[in-house]
Each structure stands twice: as C-alpha cells, then as structure tokens.
Amino acid sequence: MTTLRNPRPGRAYTGAPNTIIAGDVNLYYRDWGRGRPVLFVAGWSMCSDSWGYQMMALCRQGLRCIAFDRRGHGRSSDPGGGYDLDTLADDIAAVIEALDLRDVVLVGHSMGCNEIVRYLTRHGGARVTQVALLGPMTPGITLSASNPHGIDPALLAQFRSTQLLHDFPRWIEENVEPFVPGAGPRMRDWLAQMALQCSLQALHDCHLCVEESDMVAELEAVDVPVLLIAGALDVSAPLELTARRTAALVPDCRLVVYEDAAHGMFLTHVEQVNGELLEFIRAEV
C-alpha cells in the first residue's frame, strides 16, 4: 500500500469562476465534458492550455477533462513560494477535493509526473484509479552514487544561473525545436508564450525541485495501473535515464516508446497519444 505523508491542513473550495482557492493560492482550472474525470498536470513552464488537444479528444469520448495551472504558471496566482513537491502535490489534492473528483485518471507530463507520484504517496490513491505519465522526469535525473548515468548537477545549476536567470527568452528560442521537432513557427510561438508568462521564481524553484527529486521508493509504492509514454529522441528526459527506470520500478506499468518522438510527444504525436490514453482508460471501465 502507498505510504502516506502528512498532508497540510485546511480545505480547498471553488471561488470565482474557474478558480480553486487553496490556502494562499488561487489555482485556475478548466473543466470540460461529463463522465469519468481525467485530471491533467502540465510540465515545467507549461500550463493547462498545453493539454487542449488531449482534452478535446477525450471529452468527445464521454470523459470529463480537467486541467489546472500550477502555482506561478499561467493564470494561477504567484504566491512567492511553495515550489516543493509536497506543496505542489497538495495543490493537486486541492483540485481533486474542491471538484470532488472520484475514480479519477491522473495524466502528467515531465515535472507533472513527479507531482503525481508525490500526490499518491502523500495523499493516497483512494480517489485515483489509473495514472498516465508522459515524458517523466522520474525517478531522478541527477548524477549520484545510486544514479551513475545522471546529469551533473553543476550543469543544471549553470542552466539556472546563466540561461534561466540571464536570458530565458533566448533559451526558449533555441530549445523549442528539440522539444517539438519539426513543429511550425506558430506552434513554437505558442509554447514560448506559455513559458514566458510563468513566474521566474516558479521556473527556478521548480527546476531545482526536479533536480533534487529521488523517487525510487515512491515509484515502487504506486499501487494503481500506470501507462508510461516516452520518446526515444527526448533530450529533456532521456529515455534510459527516466522512462525505462521508472517502468522497471512501478509494479503495474506498461511502457510505450515512440521512436521518432521527443519530449513534447503529446503535441507532435497527438493522434497516437490520444489513442493510447483512450485505450488505457477504457481498459478499466
């Protein structure tokens, strides 16, 4: 069974239209369709807008699709802190509680996968029936004695100091192509706009949060079926470092690898991803 941590006290509730109030943060969310709920958690620097192609496809198949903007991202508030995995997992719990979601399917991308895993170990899986992880950053990306093929933390720190905190727009311009290879200029502009509207503090602290994550034990405790989708061309979350290690740790996991896809496979391989998600969800009906 999942080991529970100590979730923060207090209750979340819906406030102004499309807003969930949870402690010191207002979380913007979108809620489309009727039926079994599917909750989407975006990746680093992305917001709920990024899930539009999945939400449209799944809600047309009789599912209720919800996505929210992480604190400091998109239209959610910028509280000046709380960019640790425990608090971010509590924000997922706030959305689930405020909307009273049950039998929910959690779908995460990149950093969102870490948040989902922490939600399960911190709050339990009583309301969750399935999980889909796309391009995960789990179990850990940083070089260590237990992760000899990880990324040198000095390189990650250098990104934050010389690129993120120096010329983030330029970094986006240079790195959108590896994220969505072959995408058109309007798609690249759209992704850049999402990233540029984020709080710089949120981007910095969330990046550091991912660097410090070691989720081996937590992945072993996941007790719901997991679909894992990864791209063989992913340079943000290299396949052997992330997805294959994650799949080996989760007790009930099916790994799907797209040989010609990168980190943003849910945008470049829309039909394939949507089909995988729908098949996975329907398997539990």
Q: What is the pLDDT of residues 34-57, one digit of tens each?
A: 999 999 999 999 999 999 999 999
- Known catalytic membership, residue 144: no
CB atoms inside a 10 Å sphere around CB 253: 18
Task: Tell me the two tokens of residue 44.
Answer: 């680093």
- Known catalytic membership, residue 263: yes
Rounded mean pLDDT, 216-224: 97
Tell me the whole-structure pTM to 2 decimals: 0.95
- Known catalytic membership, residue 234: yes
Question: DSSP class of residue 148?
Answer: T
Q: How confident is the model at residue 2 (pLDDT cuts 50, 70, 90)?
A: very low
Q: Strand 104-109 to strand 63-68: parallel, antiparallel, or no bridges (unpaired)?
A: unpaired
Contacts 24+ apart (CB under 8 A), 237-240: 237/110, 237/135, 237/136, 237/137, 237/141, 237/263, 240/149
Q: How confident is the model at residue 284 (pLDDT cuts 50, 70, 90)?
A: confident
- pLDDT (0 to 100) of residue 10: 61
Phi first, then psi, for residue 49 (nearest 5°) are -55, -35
Instruction: Determine which one of 73, 123, 207, 263 is catalytic.
Output: 263
- pLDDT (0 to 100) of residue 23: 87
- pLDDT (0 to 100) of residue 82: 96
Rounded mean pLDDT, 225-253: 98
Q: What is the pLDDT of residues 97-146, one digit of tens each?
A: 999 999 999 999 999 999 999 999 999 999 999 999 999 999 999 999 99
Instruction: Determine which one of 48, 50, 110, 236 is catalytic.
Output: 110
Mind giving me the DSSP string for 75-90? TS---S---SHHHHHH
111 within 8 A of 206, measured Cβ to Cβ? yes
Q: Is the pLDDT of residue 4 over 70?
A: no
Q: How confident is the model at residue 6 (pLDDT cuts 50, 70, 90)?
A: very low
Q: Is the pLDDT of residue 5 over 70?
A: no
- pLDDT (0 to 100) of residue 13: 80
- pLDDT (0 to 100) of residue 210: 97
List alpha helices for the chain, DSSP H. 52-59, 85-98, 111-123, 153-159, 165-179, 185-196, 200-211, 216-220, 243-249, 265-268, 270-282
**Comparing 7-11, 88-92, 126-130, 252-256, which segment has the lowest mean pLDDT?**
7-11
Number of separate helices (H) and strands (E) present in the chain = 11, 9
- pLDDT (0 to 100) of residue 9: 47
Q: What percent of the chain has pLDDT over 90?
A: 92
Q: How confident is the model at residue 24 (pLDDT cuts 50, 70, 90)?
A: confident
Which single residue is written with the structure tokens 């009906």?
285
State how far the Cα of 257 lies from the Cα of 230, in Å rounded to an integer: 5
Instruction: Determine which one of 31, 49, 90, 234 is catalytic.
Output: 234
**Paired strand residues for 20:** 14, 27
Q: What percent of the chain has pLDDT over 70?
A: 96
pLDDT, the chain, mean? 95
Look up residue 156 and give its amino acid. L
Look up residue 46 and give its amino acid. M
State how far the Cα of 115 lies from the Cα of 134, in Å rounded to an integer: 13
